[in-house]
Chain A
Amino acid sequence: MAEHILLRDLDVPDIKAFDVYVQHGGYEALRKAVGMTPAAVIDVVKASNLRGRGGAGFPTGVKWSFIPQSEPVKYVVVNADESEPGTFKDRQILEGNPHQLIEGAMIAAYAIQATAVYIYLRGEFWDIAANLDACIEDARKEGLIGPDVLGSGWSCEMYTHLGAGAYICGEESALLNSLQGLLGQPRVRPPFPAQKGGGLYYEATVVNNVETLTNVPWIITHGAEEYKKIGTPESPGPKIYCLSGHVAKPGNYELPLGITFRELIFEHAGGIPDGKQLKAILPSGASGPVLPATDAVLDTPLTYEAVAQIGSTLGSASIILMDETVNVAWAASKMMKFFAHESCGKCTPCREGTYWLRRRYEALLDGRAQARDIAILDDVASQMTGVTLCALGEFAVNPVRATIKHFRADYEAWIKQEAAEDKKAAKPAPAREKAAAR
């Protein structure tokens, strides 16, 4: 890929500085946007079919168009609570190319005529927040933020806010609660954030991910048609893929949507180190169902639709790779420990279910589990499915159900050990699946 659209810090040294950013065309898109009507800005973003990069893939322009223009107070909230395990893309934008996010957020704010933008950062990003504050100040001095932005007559403030260390606050309604100083627990919807009563301080609010908004200036500058030339028609644009785990060159890769797992892992990221075989792929951190590294999976294009079709989600494209040395049941136990720690506790199935599952995984790894415990793990996870208050509970079952589905042998391996010790191994364990076929 020639030039980066999002990770421009890789192309232009010091683009995080205001002057450098402006020298390289920075804030021209905002200038262009405020010369358009807000509705026209929304139309361009709609036409580009930019989809939310936070994980859900919801069309950004459509989200903006839900905001009732009649409301006098409206907000844009930037979700910079990047906390999905294996996700570190927003961090690079925030550190390396912060003005492009600020510009994108201001364009979004103009499009819905917001009165303020709040950037909600995870608590560990305190240094980033300090730097971002300085960037906001630089932009404010130039009349890009604050009263009467660029002489348009529209005023908008921008603030940063640090979270206090909760994964759940990446969920938009919990994020809004946390931003308001309330307990970080998700809200009942409807009302949705875009509606009066559902957003920040109960005003209509757009909540967008950092990467999503960082796309926006380019779209405004180059137009929707140019943007759609990147990626696929349903999933256009560039995407930052975060690669980690058993991969030769881990890190962020900005590549078009629609390339395959194989291209990403083996062509760009140098494949699997030490000549090992790739066994399992987590395409979207802990939240998405695990995939066995079969040919069919490796040849699947990385788009929202295609990954969904093979039973997982693209999510925020935080791709964690596991080679043949990994027992996937062990990996699942780590993920369940994470979800049990991060469940907010508001709704029963998630609060009790994640705790119960965590305890059963502990038993499994301690060699205390019996064969029926695999069924219990699967059952408990399945009875959490579809009944929780927010998506965290929905995602929390993925490590269990998908790993049992694809890697049952890894579970049985733990149980067989225990059975052997008991000298009660009456019936032979089922033959191991050739799960890590490749």
Chain B
Amino acid sequence: MTTTVTIHIDGVPYAVPDGMNLVDAARIYAGVEIPIFCYHPKMKPVGMCRMCLVDLGFEVRDRATGELALNPDGTPQVRWGRKLETGCTTTVRAGMYVRTRTEQVQEARRDVLEFLLSSHPLDCPVCDKGGECPLQNLTMRHGPGTSRMAYDDKLHLDKHVPLGDLIYLDRERCIQCARCVRFQDEVVGDDVLAFHERGRRLQIITTSTPGFDTYFSGNTTDICPVGALTTADFRFGARPWELTNVPSISPHGPVGENIALSMRLDRDSGGVQVIKRVIPRQNEDVNEIWISDKTRFGHHFTLSPDRLREALARKRGELTPVALDDALKAAAKALKEAGNSVGFIGGPMTSNEDFFALRELAAHVGSRKLGLWPATLGDAAPAAEVGIASGSRLTELGKGDAVLVVASDLEEEAPIWFLQAKQAADRGAALIVANLRETKLDRYASRTVRYGLGGAVGFLDGAASDETLAQAANLVVFVGNEGLGADEHGVLLRAAANLLITTGHAGRRNNGLIPVWPGANTQGGFDLGFESAATRAMLQSAPDVLIVVGADVAETPAGAAALDAAKFVIALSLFPDATTAKADVVLPIQSFAERDGTFTNAMRRVQRFYTAQGPVGESLPAWQVIGLLGQRLGMDRPRRSAALVMKALAESVKLYAGMSYPALAEAAVQTPPIGISPGFYGGTAAAPTGGTGLQWPSKAESRAKLSVTPVEAPQAVHAGAGELVIVPLRRLYDRAPEFFASAVMHGRIPQPFVALHPSDAARLGAVDGGRVKLSAGGASLDVTAVVDATAPEGLALLPQRLAPGAFPQEPVAGRVEPVAEAVAAD
């Protein structure tokens, strides 16, 4: 445990944790800002910029007696250093004295700023960073008012250097702090940036092809202390002081990255309020200050011209625009006729309020068919029992702890957890990665486990006897569903719970299960009683009326068949898709950016997002559409606001008791305080304004008696003669309309492909880059074959949502056949 020591800063004593970085200690415990450029609390100090120079001294003790030497006036004698020292490379210890305001220190700061500005273009009036720039701020506070640099002596460098298609470098603005290089190297592990040359010619380059090849590139533009790095998406798009930061939650993936949407009235968008950029919002319990490029750049769907703008109803077999009232009337009519034969399916971006409205409507019509999309998931009961304990922080895992990742490609499914698992391993935690194929996290693993199809449960069931896991001080288990059938996924989650219970880790802080769900609010759906299993039942025998909310059910053959089998389909959707094409009534809904709501992340943290921009067309929040529908069936009129829906939800759902909007809007204190304005540590992470969310406790935390339920792996899919098992994979960048609308990302989204082991490819006659046809369960896809030695033999790895067309989302036996290419005659 850290002990507390007393140090003196500018003559005032402060109690600070021993060994803490001096810059952080001064900032957090003394409120003293030692200015910095290169130092960043999330990375190792390098002492490059020399901005943090301070006068450092130590109290003098008598060598023989160890007693403090005193001045005649009774104050302790202090031996000051010969030279100034960099605060960022200094760790505090007892008896330390620091002076931050002496003439010498102020002069050093002035000098460093004069140096930095001597080769800086000072193009602040056209710079994206202008207004939130550490170099500007510190120059105002500490810098010289003028420069002695002759204008002719200025060095001029390239101002438009693409480091890839997403990030541009302005070489004149760069102050060589290496934050971006170090971020990619230390935090991400994709060391795709480097310094080139030396001296004043020192410059940032990218070493990867394609350039700046990583899922985290945008974060470098946040931590850049000048405007040297800008995103292709935002550069020259707006001035920071014109922007209003609206707190929000990423709608992509299970992490629930806290973000802020920087809004501005925009001429090019008809003068309405639009998202100009997405920046991280600090939440040390969730995403710290990092977001993936998907979250940063994947917001364009909110204003996509493809969005549904008006209600549609089927007239003479054709979906035709109708007034919302007419659409609701038609839907209500069908519902009245169906009685209780009504099914509900909610998709990955469906908010808690929406799920609650669906649940109320279901209760009203007497249906219990509450389904969750996708239909491939096990149940959430194990996570409710032994889910990662409240208040846990992945950033605290380190030496002596263990992180186990099973059946998940974390980088593709939950990039932020990839970072955090990697960094836990960097800090000394044992990282065990088990999957049926190689994933990128293997690089950082202390051990990798490779099992065959159907082998995940067997591995996890036996893991309790593993000494590393059993003896770990803390144990976090990530469980995904890669290569698993839905039943197998359920059993695997149970096996993970068994492991945590057996090894005694359940219910303790920094311990527990994290299910790597596919959606931003899959957990919320489970919490409100929606089940993936219920969806599977509805696909087996379709109810008379199906109400589908934000779920492209037709993306699987079984889903498409169920839509056909149902007498009447009501689809609430952002986009026209294969599901709305089969619907009888289509109702446009609002995206996360246009409404208030809450998502529950896979660590059971309920988090608020706020209305940022105006509605698209006639779209309404899904809860309101559902409420209007209910009203026509005799329910009360819909509640007047999302806040009131949440209030009712919190009153009726025990897990969410007390989670009112005001409670969720409370922000926990963040240490170190990076997201404050003007950001002391530089960069543009937003403050935790808008709330850091509330976690509901797992059963294990209440000291409930937990018991181990023996598990048995279900029969694995077996490929027949001439068949392979086609295993769907989740990939971060796909062609779902919620992401593909971001044109800036198109260069990074792969063409539809399937990965085959070389021996399978050879046997099937498939060549690398050649076309193949996949067929299974009555569906087929046309994709490019990629021959990949890391693909397990006998499996065809198929990233989902790349190729158009329905295809099973669980492992399935099927055929892979080369497509004869037209050969030009000689």
Contact = CB atoms under 8 A, between A and B. Distances in A.
Interface of A: 166, 168, 183-185, 188, 340-349, 351-356, 359-360, 363, 376, 379-380, 383, 386-389
Given A166-B198, A341-B199, A348 B150 contact: no
Given A346-B48, A347-B48, A352 B115 contact: yes
Contact of A386 (B84, B149, B202): B84
Interface string B196-240: 011111100000000000000000000000000000000000000
Given A188-B45, A356-B149, A387-B108, A347 B50 contact: yes
A343 B199 CA distance: 5
Nearest to B181: A183
Given A351-B202, A352-B115, A383-B114, 16 more contacts: A168-B198, A340-B199, A341-B199, A345-B176, A345-B197, A347-B50, A348-B48, A348-B51, A348-B112, A349-B112, A351-B200, A353-B115, A355-B200, A360-B150, A387-B50, A387-B53
A352 B200 contact: yes
B46 A188 contact: yes
B51 to A, nearest CB: 8
B279 interface: no
Contacts of B48: 346-348, 389
Contact of B119 (A188, A341, A342, A355): A355
Interface of B: 45-51, 53, 83-84, 86, 89, 107-108, 111-112, 114-116, 118-119, 148-150, 152-153, 155, 175-176, 194-195, 197-202
Contact of A347 (B47, B148, B152): B47
Given A183-B195, A188-B47, A349 B176 contact: no
A349 B199 contact: no
B46 to A, nearest CB: 6
B50 A388 contact: yes
A346 B181 CA distance: 13
Given A347-B50, A389-B48, A352 B119 contact: yes
A417 B195 CA distance: 42
Contact of A356 (B49, B107, B153, B175): B153
Contacts of A348: 48-51, 112, 115-116, 175-176
A348 B37 CA distance: 11
A386 B107 CA distance: 12
B118 A352 contact: yes
Nearest to B104: A386
B198 A383 contact: no
A387 B111 contact: yes
A108 B84 CA distance: 35
B53 to A, nearest CB: 6
Nearest to A370: B150
B50 A345 contact: no
Contacts of B47: 188, 347, 389
A356 B112 contact: no
Contacts of A188: 45-47, 86, 89
Nearest to A345: B202
A353 B118 CA distance: 9
Contact of B112 (A346, A354, A360, A387): A387
A351 B198 CA distance: 9
A166 B46 CA distance: 21
B198 A355 contact: no
B117 to A, nearest CB: 9
B111 A383 contact: yes
Contacts of B201: 345
Main SS at interface, chain A? helix
A320 B200 CA distance: 28
Contact of A359 (B50, B153, B175): B153
B412 to A, nearest CB: 30
Nearest to A354: B199
B45 A349 contact: no
B544 to A, nearest CB: 68
Nearest to B153: A359
Contacts of A352: 115-116, 118-119, 200
B50 A389 contact: yes
Contacts of B108: 387
A342 B198 CA distance: 7
Contacts of A347: 47-50
Contacts of A360: 150, 153
B595 to A, nearest CB: 47
Nearest to B120: A352
Task: Give the 4 A-B residue pairs with the shortest CB-CB distance, closest first.
Answer: A345-B202, A352-B115, A359-B153, A355-B200
9 contacts: A344-B202, A345-B201, A346-B176, A348-B49, A351-B202, A353-B115, A355-B118, A386-B84, A387-B84
Contacts of B49: 347-348
A238 to B, nearest CB: 32
B50 A355 contact: no
A342 B111 CA distance: 22
Given A343-B198, A389-B47, A351 B148 contact: no
A283 B615 CA distance: 77
Contacts of B53: 387
B36 to A, nearest CB: 12
Contacts of A349: 50, 111-112, 115
Given A386-B83, A386-B84, A355 B199 contact: yes
Contacts of A387: 50, 53, 83-84, 108, 111-112
A376 B148 contact: yes
A363 B112 contact: no
Contacts of B86: 188
Given A347-B48, A349-B50, A363 B150 contact: yes
Nearest to A382: B111
A363 B51 CA distance: 29
Given A349-B112, A355-B155, A363-B153, A344 B119 contact: no
Contacts of B175: 348
B118 A356 contact: yes
Contacts of B112: 348-349, 387
A388 B86 CA distance: 10
Contacts of A380: 148
B728 to A, nearest CB: 41
Contacts of A356: 115, 118, 149, 153
Contacts of B155: 355
Contacts of A354: 199-200
Nearest to B155: A355
Contacts of A379: 148
Q: Which of A345, A380, A389 has the most CB of B within 10 A?
A: A345
A343 B200 contact: yes
B92 to A, nearest CB: 15
A345 B115 contact: no
A347 to B, nearest CB: 5
A356 B116 CA distance: 11
A356 B147 CA distance: 12
A57 B112 CA distance: 31
A345 B199 contact: yes
Q: Which of B45, B115, B153, B197 has the most CB of A within 10 A?
A: B115
A236 to B, nearest CB: 27
Contacts of B148: 376, 379-380
A164 B27 CA distance: 42
B153 A342 contact: no
Contacts of B152: 359, 363
B89 A345 contact: no
A346 B202 CA distance: 8
Given A346-B48, A348-B48, A387-B50, A340 B115 contact: no
A353 B49 CA distance: 13
A371 to B, nearest CB: 14
A360 B47 CA distance: 27
Contacts of A184: 198
Contact of B200 (A166, A340, A376, A383): A340
A387 B115 CA distance: 12
A345 B200 contact: yes
A273 B107 CA distance: 47
A208 to B, nearest CB: 25
